[in-house]
Structure 1
Amino acid sequence: MGRQQARRLADLFPKKKIDHVITSPYKRALQSIEPLAERKSLKINIDNRLVERKLSNQDLPDWLEKLEASFNNMNVYYSGGESSREAMNRGMGVINDILKESYQSTIVVTHGNLMALIIRYFQRDFGFEGWLNLSNPDVFLITITDQNVVITREWENI
């Protein structure tokens, strides 16, 4: 993510109260959230469970078709990779920990495929097409209450 996009991300939350920031350890993810964390004087917490999903450890010339198949069958996995279900459960482990800690407003920084799977956990019709339509970067607000979950795309609004 470029520096300009990272500043735009920081500008997306000027008046919102943020309690907690959790990010993938990947350099790009850290660089994306640093301007916002600095602006709001927040510690950046690294969680290895937010790394991008590994589709396979082998070169897959038809990786896009295999990725689509993995959205259609959440248990499909390829050599050295993880299934969509495994990756979703890993990402949701972070979300569940956030809910247990009762943080009111947490920013979670991850990568496209894992983000799509976390969204899919709450919104079952978010699949391969949803992943295809993500921008880089992208921002979704997931509001979780006792009654329901509301997901809104925020990045396109800035």
Structure 2
Amino acid sequence: MVKCIYIIRHCEAQGQSSAASLTEEGFHQAEDLADFFADKKIDRIIASPFSRAIQTIEPLSNRGNIEIEIDERLSERILSTTDLPDWYEKLQATFTNMELKFEGGESSNEAMKRIVHVVEETLKSDVEHTIIVSHGNIITLLLKHYNSDVDFQVWTHLSNPDVFQLSVKDYEVSLEHIWE
């Protein structure tokens, strides 16, 4: 049996807060995303509790009558609870030093661990086709877990939305970027 997990980065949003909604364009992108998955079998949807992640997958959820399960572990990674004017450089540094963390934040390894647990639990379940909706930084860390070549530059090239397919057959993992 092949297990397939689609990893989706949310559509264009109005901001970074957990309550930030999709933009008008983001809502159109969510419909396009639902169209993209129209011919794919989906058994389960798991999403970050952030509004933009839920709104990204609602059109597909509604079309397929599939409940959206909320998992806090899919929340975006917290870089710091203090304002970091040089956040971009600090974020980049966390991809080089995976243990580096800033005040109130979590290291790359800590964030990676929580999203990997969601994926591992999904792979152990009886469900064959799952969608996971989350955020760019933590998704990049998940990709890095399965492909050590993934780095900060991969994060800079993600789109909103973006989709990766993680497939597992006979303990062999393959990862493919499938959104254009």
TM-score, scaled relative to structure 2 = 0.84
Deviation >3 Å, runs of 4+: none
What does 1:107-126 correspond to in 2, within 5 Å?
107-126=131-150
Does residue 38 of structure 2 align to residue 11 of structure 1? no
Q: Which has the higher helix share?
A: 1
The one-letter code sitting in structure 2 at the alignment partner of 1:106 is: T
Following superposition, the deviation at residue 151 of structure 1 comes to 1.4
Alpha-carbon RMSD: 0.9
1:96-146 Cα offsets, whole Å, 9 max, x none, are: 110121311100000000100011100111010110110111111111222
* Structure 2 residue matching 1:77: 3-state secondary structure: coil
The one-letter code sitting in structure 1 at the alignment partner of 2:88 is: L
Match of residue 55 from structure 1: 79
Please list every run of 5 or more consecutive structure 2 residues that lacks an aligned counterpart in the other structure.
Answer: 1-10, 12-25
Following superposition, the deviation at residue 29 of structure 1 comes to 0.5
1:10-65 Cα offsets, whole Å, 9 max, x none, are: 01111111110000011111000000011111011000000000000111111111
Out of 167, 170, 179, the residue aligned to residue 143 of structure 1 is: 167
| Alignment size in residue pairs | 156
Does residue 158 of structure 2 align to residue 134 of structure 1? yes
- State how far apart, in whole Å, the 2-side matches of 1:103 and 1:112 are: 25
What does 1:1-158 correspond to in 2, within 5 Å?
1=11, 2-156=26-180
The one-letter code sitting in structure 2 at the alignment partner of 1:49 is: R
- State how far apart, in whole Å, the 2-side matches of 1:21 and 1:134 are: 21
Please list every run of 5 or more consecutive structure 1 residues that lacks an aligned counterpart in the other structure.
Answer: none
Q: Which has the higher strand share?
A: 2
TM-score, scaled relative to structure 1 = 0.96
The one-letter code sitting in structure 2 at the alignment partner of 1:139 is: V
- State how far apart, in whole Å, the 1-side matches of 2:130 and 2:94 are: 29
Percent identical pairs in the alignment equals: 49
